[in-house]
């Protein structure tokens, strides 16, 4: 079989994966070696505290150093997005495979299916599981897709392939990349998703540090990439405006009606409705102003690398 000519970079995110990393990296290396002339494996060590890195080095040594493998050691735990940004910046391939977790609940052939789909003209192709998506993830994607102005929604993905053109386009959009998936959707290039049947539930539990990081990432993503808060504020403003109009009409009705409301009730409710209406109008303006600032502000990458080792 003739090997593919494109140079492929595989970026692997590592955070305490001692129990599964050897099997995972051996399968990825096997797929690359069987199908591509030139490839590199970039492992990003995001503050591993177990034997993950030792397992990686042991595998590379046992394989006779046949694979071009680099290890990026972040100075401390910084989260999957910052870690993967560091790996992407070091990668030099024509195409990049991004593996956000060492979970292989898919057939190995899916890796090449995603690659071949990219060759059909798609700059970003993702592999998405159909089942066993956590409730918290489903809620996040629901909120994001409701607030997004793009027709293309996002969903949980296991891995993706990104063309060099897409990487360059994303870097041109913003020097700070808080959430790669959202920027890929918003970069204006063709994207696609291949959904697959999960072999089994292989999710790894998260510690409190990871949960906190993912929660902060979810909130930042909602604020930066969607108009959800602005729409909610506008909706509440409209609601209190309707209440204000109702109170005004009821005031006029009470003047000509024999029924008299409790003294002071109309004025208090009218004042409260007016106050809340103006409050949410101001919040809508503030959210809109902040969204404009976020779209115009360029920040540097937020990751700190301790060292880069050639294995």
Residues in the chain, overall count:
311
- Do the Cβ atoms of 62 and 31 come closer than 8 Å? no
Q: H helices within 7-153, ranges in order?
A: 21-35, 52-62, 80-90, 109-119, 135-147
Round to whole Å and give the CA distance between 20 and 181: 25
Residue 13, beta-bridge partner list: 44
- pLDDT for res 263: 64
Round to whole Å and give the CA distance between 85 and 46: 12
The CATH number of 8-226, from 3.90.1150.10, 3.90.550.10, 3.60.130.10, 3.30.310.50, is: 3.90.550.10
- pLDDT for res 126: 96
| Radius of gyration over every alpha carbon of the chain, rounded to an integer in angstroms | 25
Q: How far is CA 156 from the centre of its chain?
A: 9
Q: Average model confidence (pLDDT) for the chain?
A: 83
Longest dimension (CA), the chain: 96
Give the pairing type, strands 39-45 and 69-74.
Answer: parallel
* Closest by Cα among 309, 311, 304, 307 to 79: 304
- pLDDT for res 10: 97
Q: Helix or strand or coil: residue 133?
A: coil
SS3 content of the chain, % helix, strand, coil (to 5): 50, 15, 35
Give the pairing type, strands 8-14 and 95-99.
Answer: parallel
- pLDDT for res 261: 61
- pLDDT for res 117: 96
Burial class of residue 285 (count of CB atoms within 10 Å of its CB; 0-12, 13-18, 19+): middle
- pLDDT for res 176: 66
The helix-helix angle for 21-35 and 52-62 (nearest 10°) equals: 40
HSE value, Cβ hemisphere, 13 Å, CA-based, for 94: 11
Q: 141 is written with which tokens?
A: 């994607």
- pLDDT for res 298: 44
In a structure prediction context, what are the per-residue pLDDT tens digits for the chain, which is 311 residues long?
Answer: 789 999 999 999 999 999 899 999 999 999 999 999 999 999 999 999 999 999 999 999 998 878 899 999 999 999 898 899 999 999 999 999 999 989 889 999 999 999 999 999 999 999 999 988 888 888 888 888 887 777 778 889 999 999 999 999 888 776 666 788 888 888 888 999 999 998 765 556 666 667 777 777 777 777 777 777 777 777 777 777 787 777 777 777 776 776 666 666 666 766 777 777 777 777 777 766 666 566 555 445 555 565 677 76
Domain residue spans in the chain?
8-226, 228-296
Q: How far is CA 106 from the centre of its chain?
A: 21
- pLDDT for res 279: 75
Q: 221 is written with which tokens?
A: 């993503």
């Amino acid at each position: 079989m003739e090997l593919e000519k494109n140079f492929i970079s595989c970026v692997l995110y590592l955070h305490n994966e001692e129990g599964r990393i050897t099997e995972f990296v051996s399968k990825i290396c096997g797929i690359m070696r069987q199908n591509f002339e030139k490839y590199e494996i970039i492992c990003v060590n995001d503050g591993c505290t177990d034997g993950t890195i030792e397992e990686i080095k042991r595998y590379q040594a046992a394989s006779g150093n046949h694979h071009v493998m680099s290890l990026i050691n972040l100075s401390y735990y910084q989260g999957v997005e910052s870690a993967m940004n560091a790996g992407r910046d070091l990668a030099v391939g024509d195409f990049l495979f991004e593996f956000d977790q060492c979970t292989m609940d898919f057939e190995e052939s899916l890796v090449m299916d995603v690659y071949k789909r990219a060759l059909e003209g798609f700059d970003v192709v993702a592999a998405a599981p159909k089942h066993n998506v956590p409730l918290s993830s489903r809620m996040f994607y629901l909120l994001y897709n409701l607030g997004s102005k793009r027709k293309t929604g996002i969903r949980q993905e296991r891995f993706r392939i990104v063309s060099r053109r897409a990487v360059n386009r994303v870097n041109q959009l913003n020097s700070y990349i808080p959430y790669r998936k959202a920027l890929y959707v918003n970069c204006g290039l063709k994207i696609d998703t291949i959904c697959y049947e999960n072999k089994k539930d292989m999710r790894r539990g998260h510690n409190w540090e990871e949960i906190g990081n993912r929660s902060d990432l979810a909130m930042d993503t909602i604020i930066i990439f969607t108009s959800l808060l602005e729409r909610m504020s506008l909706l509440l403003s409209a609601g209190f405006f309707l209440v204000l109009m109702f109170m005004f009409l009821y005031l006029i009705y009470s003047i000509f009606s024999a029924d008299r409301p409790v003294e002071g009730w109309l004025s208090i409710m009218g004042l409260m409705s007016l106050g809340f209406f103006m409050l949410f109008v101001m919040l809508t303006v503030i959210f809109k102003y902040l969204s404009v600032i976020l779209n115009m502000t360029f920040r540097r990458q937020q990751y700190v690398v301790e060292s880069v080792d050639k294995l």
